[in-house]
Amino acid sequence: STMDVKAQRKAEKKRKKAERRAQREGRGDPMAGQKQCTLCNKSVNLLVRCTYDESGAWGMVCGKCWNEVSGGVVDGDGAHPHYRYGGLW
């Protein structure tokens, strides 16, 4: 019936709101907001968007992999000609 649908919708809305509150207060899913590194597939909170090989395709790399593809220099260096910085995510 119409009331059942309305009650279900309201319950779902409350559940989502409680989930957001828990996340905000640090009680939520620790994996929420994490993304995978293109190179090592490790899930991390912060990734660097960059190009790092001949293809010129953009990838998202974790801090450890970023040091390897960039030489640890934001603008890259001569030893990493395919590296191009594209921001933090």
**55-85: per-residue pLDDT in tens?**
989 999 999 999 999 988 888 788 889 999 9
Among candidates 63, 70, 57, which has minimal Cα distance to 88?
63
The reported pLDDT for the residue numbered 60 is 95
Place 41 in a pLDDT band, splitting at 50, 70 and 90: very high
β-bridge partners, 63: none
The reported pLDDT for the residue numbered 20 is 85
- Pairing type for strands 35-36 and 58-61 reads unpaired
The reported pLDDT for the residue numbered 83 is 92
